[in-house]
A = this chain, B = another copy of it.
Amino acid sequence: MPAAVVLLSGGLDSTTVCAIAASQGRTIHALTLDYNQRHKGELDAARRAARFFDVKEHLIFPIRLDLFGGSSLTDPTIPVETSVPLEEIGQAIPTSYVPARNTIFLSLALAMAETRGASEIWLGVNSVDYSGYPDCRPEFIGAFERLARLATKMGVEGEGIRVVTPLMSMSKGQIIRAGLSLGVDYSQTLTCYSPNALGEACGECESCRLRLAGFREAGVPDPAAYAAGARQQTKTRNNR
């Protein structure tokens, strides 16, 4: 069985990726980056997913991105945006963009892949229902694969690494339907950038809005816990 590193944040997308990798018979080395993000509940969600999919290894790797700052997810002085209408999400790079995040995460996954003998990195990036982050686009992924081939012993002496992005061209609704068909329990995933003290989602940040619109598209209710009054904030996404 081919071994794969799966970047697992505990959110909707990466949990679905983990389900797809498991369904395709991969031996999974899950890598969760603990970057002092605001929503530490993500780590618990990642642990639940790793257990559910019976991964071979789950490494929670500390990485102090707060020492760089520059994002509402790593710098408490930058507020999380909660007023961007659904149809405007993805039009510009939002304050939740974390500088160089996916480059850093893929680099760490590359080190894990090389030391574990894995020839694949699976990653839940998506360029359809996404926030407009530059490091979620297919051209970025292709450039990383080329870099990885030049960067590593496995690339120089062997075949290099394949970055597998099964969600890249799927809508959020399609992602949810795919995950449901593979047994993903989305009540156990955390998507919100700004959950309350009870761990309930805000329903207003860009990440919640995309998620809720995805469940509407999929025609199923979102089983996640939302703060009282949050859900009516959303409407149908119309930018595609």
Contact = CB atoms under 8 A, between A and B. Distances in A.
Interface of A: 59, 61-65, 67-70, 93, 97-104, 106-108, 110-112, 114-115, 134-135, 137, 139-140, 143-144, 146-148, 150-153, 155-157
A137 B101 CA distance: 24
Nearest to A114: B99
Number of copies: 2
A113 to B, nearest CB: 8
A99 B143 CA distance: 19
Contacts of A146: 143, 146-147
A156 B144 contact: no
A150 B143 contact: yes
13 contacts: A61-B64, A62-B62, A68-B115, A70-B115, A97-B153, A99-B110, A100-B107, A100-B151, A103-B111, A135-B151, A140-B147, A143-B151, A146-B147
